[in-house]
């Protein structure tokens, strides 16, 4: 059975929101390994596939049921796949904090997809190939509405 994963970026009032649909086919398909990230391209070099300023989605999938690679990362900027260009690409190993993948590092760009360095803790993503580099900064997530309501009531608003 084929696995369909769709990641789309929607800008709402200037704020990025990542919408995900990830149907699964049992234990053979990776599930999400924490919330998707929204990132902005801050720097490019060479013949990068996207320009500085582009908004991207970064989705990490839990693949710990595999003996070789324990996660899959997909970086997409608009319609352009920058890393993990197909369901057969983007596999690497992650650093885990419980069920959340907090970092990933794919050092090789010469095995069919670019190299990747991702660290959720510092909000940094870098994708590079032989002739280009794309550096991204994770956009801080907005607190949920419940947290905002609680904060306002704590201030007596």
Give me the torsion for CA of 21, 26, 27, 29, rounded to 10°.
Answer: -40
User: Is residue 108 over pLDDT 90?
Assistant: no
Helices (H) and strands (E) in the chain — how many of each?
A: 1, 13
The domain ranges of the chain are 6-154
The band of 144, judged by pLDDT with boundaries at 50, 70 and 90, is low
Report the DSSP beta bridge partners of residue 18: 9
Q: Which two tokens stand for residue 136?
A: 């991204």
Whole-number average pLDDT of the chain: 77
Question: 102 phi and psi, to 5 degrees?
Answer: -100, -15
Mean pLDDT for 129-134 is 95
- pLDDT value of residue 1: 29
Question: 78 phi and psi, to 5 degrees?
Answer: 60, -130
Supply the DSSP symbol for 34. S
Q: Which of 2-6, 43-47, 81-85, 86-90 has the lowest mean pLDDT?
A: 2-6
User: Is residue 139 over pLDDT 80?
Assistant: yes
Question: What pLDDT, in 10s, does the model give residues 71-104?
Answer: 999 999 999 999 998 878 899 999 999 988 999 9
CA distances from 10 to 34, 114, 154 (A): 19, 25, 32
Mean pLDDT for 106-120 is 88
User: Is residue 42 over pLDDT 50?
Assistant: yes
């Amino acid at each position: 059975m084929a696995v369909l994963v769709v990641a789309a970026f929607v800008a709402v009032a200037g704020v990025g929101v990542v919408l995900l649909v990830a149907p699964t086919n049992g234990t053979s398909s990776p599930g999400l390994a924490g919330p998707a990230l929204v990132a902005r391209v801050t720097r490019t070099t060479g013949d990068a596939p996207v320009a500085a300023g582009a908004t991207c989605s970064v989705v990490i999938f839990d693949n710990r049921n595999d003996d070789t690679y324990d996660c899959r990362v997909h970086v997409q900027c608009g319609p352009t796949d920058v890393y993990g260009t197909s369901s057969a690409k983007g596999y690497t190993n992650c650093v885990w904090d419980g069920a959340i993948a907090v970092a990933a590092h794919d050092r090789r760009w010469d095995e069919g997809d670019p190299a990747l360095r991702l660290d959720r803790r510092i909000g940094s993503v870098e994708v590079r190939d032989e002739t280009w580099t794309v550096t991204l900064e994770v956009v801080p997530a907005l607190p949920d509405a419940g947290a905002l309501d609680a904060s306002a009531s704590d201030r007596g608003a």
